[in-house]
Chain A
Amino acid sequence: TQLLEQSPQFLSIQEGENLTVYCNSSSVFSSLQWYRQEPGEGPVLLVTVVTGGEVKKLKRLTFQFGDARKDSSLHITAAQPGDTGLYLCAGLQTDSWGKLQFGAGTQVVVTP
């Protein structure tokens, strides 16, 4: 099993600040997905990155896939209270039929 480690586990910031969440592994993944999960609900897909070095932007969220496809980051610019949530990364294992390996998540709290 290819493990994904997310850091930090918890992040509390003030509205308007920037934050970065990291997702690291010693293994190579075919692709990596970022999800956001609210309590008691299913993960909601934010983005998929496939190519090493790829950068994708979703409004104030910037996602990057490492050159070696072993790590990824999520950067939020000028965070807002609506960004509060659990952010999960999930890697698609090589030679698998869609099997995602999830990280434990980073709980982000943005206070007004």
Chain B
Amino acid sequence: EPEVTQTPSHQVTQMGQEVILRCVPISNHLYFYWYRQILGQKVEFLVSFYNNEISEKSEIFDDQFSVERPDGSNFTLKIRSTKLEDSAMYFCASGSGTLEAFFGQGTRLTVV
């Protein structure tokens, strides 16, 4: 069964460093998302991406964040200068339309 895959599964980085989280969405999907979940909290929307551009973003998704679909298969989330409060599980999701989203296993980001 097709699935969304994310790498790495766990990333530890020092505060102020840049990180890139990678995702391979399901191949025929057109809508791509990033969500995050801080430990013990709700899953929160970060950004949606369609037709090679951001279609919607949350207040969390500030200038430190960017997304890219560099080669037609990968979908990346970059955090330019990580802060301690960026520590969370980051989930990539994709969908053929906007009604459904299929999530990856997540990348646990730990900022020290």
Contact = CB atoms under 8 A, between A and B. Distances in A.
B44 A102 contact: yes
A56 interface: no
A18 B33 CA distance: 35
Given A33-B101, A50-B99, A90 B43 contact: yes
Nearest to A50: B99
SS class, residues of chain B in contact with chain A: strand
Interface in A64-90: 88, 90
Contacts of B105: 41-42
Contact of A97 (B48, B106, B108): B48
A45 B43 contact: no
Interface in B5-48: 31, 33, 35, 41-45, 48
A97 B99 contact: no
Interface in B90-106: 91, 93, 95, 98-106
Interface residues of A, number: 25
Contacts, number: 67
A92 B99 contact: yes
Interface in B55-90: 55-56, 58, 89
Nearest to A42: B103
Interface of B: 4, 31, 33, 35, 41-45, 48, 50, 55-56, 58, 89, 91, 93, 95, 98-106, 108
14 contacts: A30-B99, A40-B106, A42-B91, A96-B48, A97-B31, A97-B98, A98-B50, A98-B56, A98-B101, A99-B48, A99-B56, A100-B33, A100-B35, A102-B43
Given A97-B50, A98-B31, 11 more contacts: A40-B108, A41-B105, A45-B101, A88-B43, A92-B98, A96-B48, A97-B56, A98-B50, A98-B95, A104-B41, A104-B42
